Amino acid sequence: MNAVGVDVGGTKIAAGVVTSAGKILASTTYPSAGPREDLLSSIARAIMEVADGHEVGWVCVAAPGFVLSAENRVVFSPNLHTIEGVPLKEELERRVGLGVTVENDASAAAWGEFRFGAGSEVDHLVFVTLGTGIGGGVISHGALMRGAQGAGGELGHFTIDSKRPLCVCGNRGCLEALASGTAIARRAREVAGERPDSALGTLAAQRKVLGEDVTELARGGDEAALSVLEGAGAWLGIGLAGFVNVFNPEVVAVGGAVSGAGDLILSAARREVRLRARSPSRDLAEIKAATLGAKSGILGAAALARDDAGQYVLGN
Ligand SMILES: [Zn+2]
């Protein structure tokens, strides 16, 4: 039996029908912008489009924000307010005639990497996704840690330094406020002001600097851009050192758009983990780039689709 995974983001909905071996048989994308009714009908259309002609058991929708997976509901979603509070399971089941469950998008991506990607050989995985924000997921003894309400695994909102910038969640100095793409772009604009003669400074004088510009300039050897990524990598590593101490993972996989910077960020993160995490956990944990890219959301969501008995449709 196959399952449909739906990855709902701030700008688009990606859906795919997935086999138990992790093969995507069909996929599609729709925009997620617009009013609530448009969002619901686009998700439903995406599901029906990919399911057409395939044997499909269940559907899992991975959504951004704080998700109560036990209630199949998103309670807070700073990048997609239209999805907040919607009884997604009921609304979508009525539209598509298939069973639907709801999970956090980063938890789904973590599960995707665990089943089919960077964590497929291990039982203990910490996954961190670096994008506009920072999400995460923890797999321990082969099971996704959800917490009592299913709202756990919010690794991006782990406080790193309480005196640092305000986070979208209202707290100060979260990992997300220091090492996300948004944080990198903000820090790059500061550094550009301090070092106007650098390539970063020159670009900032022409237009607004984005996170991907920093990676591009760093690859070209610009010291200012390199220092920004090194700084973000160090903050990331401080967070990862905590996760390594707490969860004792075999693999820490770093995904998301910012992870495209690769070792420009990960080298500094590994250094901080070596300095700060405790033995034997720090000696075991391998910190590496995730391998599935943007597909981790669809694959992980499909692999988290559960039947009425709570069993994963694609197996464990
Ligand atoms: Zn936060």
Per residue, the 3-state secondary structure of the chain, as one string, reads CEEEEEEECCCEEEEEEECCCCCEEEEEEEECCCCHHHHHHHHHHHHHHHHCCCCEEEEEEEECCEEECCCCEEEECCCCHHHCCCCHHHHHHHHHCCEEEEEEHHHHHHHHHHHHCCCCCCCCEEEEEECCCEEEEEEECCEECCCCCCCCCCHHHCECCCCCCECCCCCECEHHHHHCHHHHHHHHHHHHHHCCCCHHHHHHHHCCCCHHHHHHHHHCCCHHHHHHHHHHHHHHHHHHHHHHHHHCCCEEEEECHHHHHCHHHHHHHHHHHHHHCCCCHHHHCEEEECCCHHHHHHHHHHHHCECCCCCECCCC
The pLDDT of 37-42, averaged and rounded, is 95
62 - beta bridge partners?
7, 103
Could you tell me the distance, in angstroms and rounded to a whole number, from the CA of residue 183 to the centre of ligand 1?
A: 12
Chain mean pLDDT for the chain = 94
pLDDT band with cut points at 50, 70 and 90 for residue 171: very high
Q: pLDDT for 294-313, tens place per residue?
A: 999 999 999 999 998 989 99
The pLDDT of 261-269, averaged and rounded, is 95
Q: pLDDT for 43-60, tens place per residue?
A: 999 999 999 999 998 999
Could you tell me the distance, in angstroms and rounded to a whole number, from the CA of residue 119 to the centre of ligand 1?
A: 26
pLDDT band with cut points at 50, 70 and 90 for residue 65: confident
Could you tell me the distance, in angstroms and rounded to a whole number, from the CA of residue 163 to the centre of ligand 1?
A: 13
Structure tokens at 314: 């694609």
Could you tell me the distance, in angstroms and rounded to a whole number, from the CA of residue 84 to the centre of ligand 1?
A: 18
Could you tell me the distance, in angstroms and rounded to a whole number, from the CA of residue 235 to the centre of ligand 1?
A: 14
Return the pLDDT at 257.
85
Could you tell me the distance, in angstroms and rounded to a whole number, from the CA of residue 153 to the centre of ligand 1?
A: 13
This model's pTM is above 0.85: yes
Share of the chain above pLDDT 90, in %: 80
Could you tell me the distance, in angstroms and rounded to a whole number, from the CA of residue 159 to the centre of ligand 1?
A: 7
Q: Which residues surround ligand 1, an ion (CB under 5 A)?
A: 157, 167, 169, 171, 174
The pLDDT of 31-37, averaged and rounded, is 92
pLDDT band with cut points at 50, 70 and 90 for residue 4: very high
CA angle 218, 223, 224 (to 5 degrees): 85
Could you tell me the distance, in angstroms and rounded to a whole number, from the CA of residue 164 to the centre of ligand 1?
A: 11
Could you tell me the distance, in angstroms and rounded to a whole number, from the CA of residue 178 to the centre of ligand 1?
A: 10
Q: pLDDT for 114-149, tens place per residue?
A: 999 999 999 999 999 998 889 999 999 999 998 888
Could you tell me the distance, in angstroms and rounded to a whole number, from the CA of residue 19 to the centre of ligand 1?
A: 35
pLDDT band with cut points at 50, 70 and 90 for residue 71: confident
Could you tell me the distance, in angstroms and rounded to a whole number, from the CA of residue 172 to the centre of ligand 1?
A: 7
